[in-house]
Chain A
């Protein structure tokens, strides 16, 4: 069965501290991997994606993620968090090269940032 887990429901960090959001997946086929961010009452914005190649991918807003096939993980990181990063973060997986099939989303991790 296809599934995405985000073990941390809610994380609180201080502004300027580093951040790591965890994502693990179970997927039968070769996956494409994504991280999205959602601010309250808003849609989802793509932070970064991994299709193939270098397993460390850079995204917008200073975020990066590392794909580790052996651990079925795609953790999101940021070296220094800003107050504006407070939001909900969703990890998602999709089947490689199957444009008609939907993604599977994780339950989300809510990030709070302390001043």
Chain B
């Protein structure tokens, strides 16, 4: 199957700083990427849908100014958590959809800890 990578796999930052997480589709071009947040022992919560070359579509309750999403190329989407606070600590997972296939391919996730 298709491969999606995320970088970094884990990050620790101080409160008030910004953190960028990258999501890359390694062997296909992804016109659509999704960003999820997952709290411990819970399911995935969709944060936003990212389409290459256009603005991301955010789910209700997700602050677009806090979670900046950029999908500048067909293989890269980035999520920037701005002015991070401890409540932003979570596991962030991206997925990408290969236009030739229906299912989503998931990255390995990024563990963010805000001190």
Q: Which residues of A line the B interface, CB within 8 A? A: 32, 34, 36, 41-46, 49, 51, 90, 94, 99-100, 102-103, 105-108, 110
The answer, among B6, B49, B102, B108, for a CB contact under 8 Å with A94, is: B102
Which residues of B approach A to under 8 Å, CB–CB? 1, 4, 6, 32, 34, 41-44, 46, 49, 51, 91, 93, 95, 97, 99, 102-109, 111
Cα distance A110–B41 when bound, in Å?
8
Contact B43 A105 (CB under 8 A): yes
Of A46, A51, A102, A107, which one neighbours B49 at CB under 8 angstroms?
A: A102
30 inter-chain pairs at a CB distance below 8 angstroms, sorted by A residue, are A34-B103, A41-B109, A41-B111, A42-B109, A43-B4, A43-B6, A43-B93, A43-B106, A43-B107, A43-B109, A44-B106, A46-B1, A46-B103, A46-B105, A49-B102, A49-B103, A51-B102, A90-B44, A94-B102, A99-B32, A99-B99, A99-B102, A100-B32, A102-B34, A102-B46, A102-B49, A105-B43, A105-B44, A107-B42, A108-B42
Residues of chain B within 8 A of A44, CB atoms compared: 44, 93, 95, 106
Q: Majority SS of interface residues in chain B?
A: strand
**How far is it, in angstroms, between the C-alpha of A99 and the C-alpha of B30 when the chains are bound?**
11
New contact pairs (13) apart from A44-B95, A94-B102, A102-B34, CB-CB < 8 Å: A34-B103, A42-B108, A43-B4, A43-B93, A43-B108, A43-B109, A46-B103, A99-B32, A99-B99, A99-B102, A100-B51, A103-B104, A107-B43
* A32 to B93 alpha-carbon distance, docked (Å): 21
Bound Cα distance A108, B44 (Å): 9
> Given the complex, which residues of B lie within 8 Å of A51, measured CB to CB?
102
